[in-house]
A and B are shown apart, each in its own frame.
Chain A
Amino acid sequence: MPRRLAWAMLVATALMLTGGVVFVVAAAAPPLRLIAVVAVVTMAGGLVAGAQWLITVACALTVVEIALAFAAGSISSGWIGALAVGVFLVVESSVATLEVAGNAIAPREPAGHRVLVITSTAGVVWLVASILALIAGGTDLPGTFTRIAGVAAAAAVLATLARLVERRRV
């Protein structure tokens, strides 16, 4: 398949996936439509220009929109598996687009192999997110102290991961 055609198909796929995720969320909470539009436009800009930071911003906006929808209570926790898979596919399709365009350092893998890996990983993502959501039972976390402790724990996870990443970068 010619490289330009593959790139165009991947751009279309990534945009469709991003649009799918953000507009499904925005349909449940109409005030979030602006964020959805901005996320899609940013993703389109990032894919076409090969700008990694724009893609990062688009993914962040998508997650922020999902978080706001959950905060507003317009989405139930039953959606979490599908949303996790949607976000995962958005990430993978945008990364694949940049790799095909030559804007990423990583070497390109055989298409069949990559599709197999993505499909199996998407299954794992759905499973993990759904099981955790099921265990949590969709109830709100009780108490301000628990929330502060949770944020601190998240920050600690972030710091640990950042430290690990730094160690890997020789």
Chain B
Amino acid sequence: MTTYTSLRLRLYLVVGVISMIGGFAVGNPALVALSAPFLLMSAAGLLLARDMPVTVRATFDNDRAIEGDEIHLVLQVDTERRAVVSVSLDLPTGLSIKPVQEDPAILVVFESGVTVWGSHARVEVTLTCDRWGAYRPGWIQTTSRKGLSLFVQTKRSPVDLELRVYPDVETLRRLFEPVETQLGFGDLVSRRKGDGLEFADLRPFVPGDDFRRVNWRVTASGRGIWTNDRHPERNSDVVLLVDTLAPSRRGVPGVLDLAVKAAAAVAAAHLARHDRVGLISFGEPIRWIEVGMGDVQRYRILDTLMESHVRRQLLWRGVRIVPPHALPPQALVVGITPLLDERSISALSELRGRGFDVRIVEVAPEEFMAGSDSRTGDLARRIWLLEREATRSRFARHGIPLVRWEAGASLQAALASIERRERGARRA
């Protein structure tokens, strides 16, 4: 606990001491009388200034939220006597206190906290989740008055709070169609033949076939018994390779925000389609999650994306470090990258070389780049754009479809454009 003298005490002392010394110096007792109340109040304040224990317990009413949501921070402030206590929170960028609070016990709302009036006050502070991320406020600081408001005591205590704010993602209806499906049941029509709903082909009846699958219309033509083949409904393995190597400043929207939002949207849509989804967070360090299904897997992926940040590492081993079970054979690899780092570009080419079905969602970084007024700057930008175009051509040569997604645009529309191209290519 730290105690500070307030401006009030300093002014009381200045007034008291100057008038007292002046009174004695000029020999006028009226000035001494002027100093007396100020010196008496200072002395009383000094004698009464005892440390007042203030305890604050803080909890979030919900430890998970969606970007843009409002959540409540419940503060229980306990003091020995009725007092004004200012509670400040080490609020990370991305969370902000709503300027108007409805709780009557809250006197003042400021940028990082509130001022509470009472001895056992329980207040609910509304916070707005401005940006996705995993937030862990480090401390809570209380500030209160003591000794006739001539002193201010502050106390900083660590808090164990955690809040995960998930990105607000677009719901995708159409997704990438993988070349190969897996053996599990799902919503994808497999290219193989077997039990299913979708008609695939006709073939002569062989012993052991189910009579219910006999195509009686064709059989009636008199050329033997014919039976229907169908495509089974299967799922697929999807591995999201999210490039988190691009530099980002905390709290400032950038390509990482776009990449995370795209990854969250694609993961949610594939999991809803009963696909198995895995994640490779391609940053420093590289982290991965094995493919899995269901809501639990969705939250595992989101939680890993929350922790996306860059920590420079001396040893870089690339995508080879990822174990085979995190990259199952015949998996569809969806690379989500701003194409800014050669390491992620090489990794995607390498995966294509290893026979994976690779698709790329390019999150457009141009709007986050600083503009230039000089001719040299313009020239540099044009060269940089040409280099990016060359990278896209390189992917096209390797047979990797690429779709570009810009901030503010619909991800669904971007994915639909690649689907149209694929359909055209299949027809050709």
Contacts and interface: CB of A to CB of B under 8 A. Distances in A.
A170 interface: yes
6 contacts: A67-B26, A91-B8, A108-B108, A150-B24, A154-B23, A168-B151
Interface in B109-127: 110, 115, 117
A147 B34 contact: no
Nearest to A153: B24
A95 interface: yes
A110 B32 contact: no
Interface in A111-159: 117, 121, 124-125, 128-130, 132-133, 136-141, 146-147, 150-151, 153-155, 157-158
Give the secondary structure class of B's interface: helix
Contacts of B7: 52, 55-56, 94-95, 98, 104
A130 to B, nearest CB: 8
Give the secondary structure class of A's interface: helix
Interface residues of B, number: 60
A151 B28 contact: no
Interface of A: 52, 55-56, 59-60, 62-64, 66-67, 70-71, 77, 80, 83-84, 87-88, 91-92, 94-95, 98, 102, 104-110, 117, 121, 124-125, 128-130, 132-133, 136-141, 146-147, 150-151, 153-155, 157-158, 161, 164-165, 168-170
Contact of B11 (A91, A107, A140, A153): A91
A64 B22 contact: yes
A117 B25 CA distance: 33
Contacts of B115: 107-108
Interface of B: 1-15, 17-43, 46, 49, 84-86, 107-108, 110, 115, 117, 143-145, 147, 149, 151-152, 154
A105 B32 contact: no
Contacts of A83: 34
A159 B135 CA distance: 49
Contacts of B117: 109-110
A59 B8 CA distance: 11
Nearest to B43: A161
A52 B4 CA distance: 14
A91 to B, nearest CB: 4
Given A66-B31, A155-B21, 4 more contacts: A60-B18, A94-B7, A95-B6, A154-B23
A135 B43 CA distance: 22
Nearest to B87: A107
Contacts of A92: 8
Contacts of A87: 15, 34, 38
A169 B149 contact: no
Contacts of A169: 3-5
A3 to B, nearest CB: 9
Contacts of A109: 84, 107, 117, 145, 149
Given A80-B33, A91-B15, A141 B28 contact: yes
Contacts of A108: 84, 86, 107-108, 115
A165 B9 contact: yes
A112 B377 CA distance: 61
B6 A105 contact: yes
Nearest to A132: B33
A83 B33 CA distance: 11
A17 B143 CA distance: 29
A168 B50 CA distance: 9
B37 A88 contact: yes
Contacts of A71: 22, 26, 28
Given A104-B6, A106-B145, A141-B29, A56 B11 contact: yes
Contact of A147 (B5, B24, B149): B24
A89 B4 CA distance: 22
A149 B48 CA distance: 29
Q: Which 10 A-B pairs have the closest CB atoms?
A: A150-B24, A136-B29, A107-B86, A67-B22, A132-B33, A77-B30, A71-B26, A133-B33, A125-B37, A154-B20
